[in-house]
Amino acid sequence: MVSLSGPSFGTQIIGASAQRLTFTVHNATNADVSIPRNRVRAELLPLLEQRFNPAVVEVLAGEADLARELWSWVDAQATDLAARLVRPVSSQEGERVREIDVASLSDLPLALRRAVLHRALSELAGVRPISFGHVDAAVNFSAGSWVADAARAPCRK
């Protein structure tokens, strides 16, 4: 076993194979199960391993790899599409506004529509998070279905 140390944490390599290197990072918060990520690691994963599938961690890691690869492709496509379909427009009030080619947007598969709209909303929202509800409301709005309360996206003030 190889141990590496940093100023406020320690890293231990706990397993290695030709396909995967497994390591842990220890810090003061890792044992605190009031933090959801720690509770999942300390309580939920062992339960799933014992009662459902001893290889659940490897299965979830593989699914995460697949999801990352798919997201990388969707994100690259959304970047290219947003460059063509979303354009800045000046408003009389000086607000930042984006105009979206709705006809072209509606021709896209739903996953790409959502990714393009998420990108446009995030750009306008700055550091405020954009939720699925915001994106879903924008999808519905672009399709002609408008629900006012659901579309209150974060904005800069």
Domain that holds residue 59: 2-63
Total domain count, the chain: 2
Q: Which of 63, 80, 111 is the last residue of a domain?
A: 63
Residue 42 has what DSSP assignment?
A: I
The CATH number for 77's domain is 1.20.59
Dist. CA 117–CA 106, nearest whole Å? 11
- Residue 41's alpha-carbon distances to 16, 31, 62, 112, in angstroms, are 20, 10, 17, 32
Do 13 and 58 reside in the same domain of the chain? yes
Pair (19, 43) in one structural domain? yes
Mean pLDDT of 96-105: 91
User: Whole-model pTM?
Assistant: 0.67
Give me the helix-helix angle, 110-125 and 132-142, nearest 10°: 110
Cα 151 to Cα 13, 27, 99, 131, distances in angstroms: 46, 40, 16, 10
Rounded to an integer, the average pLDDT of 32-41 is 94
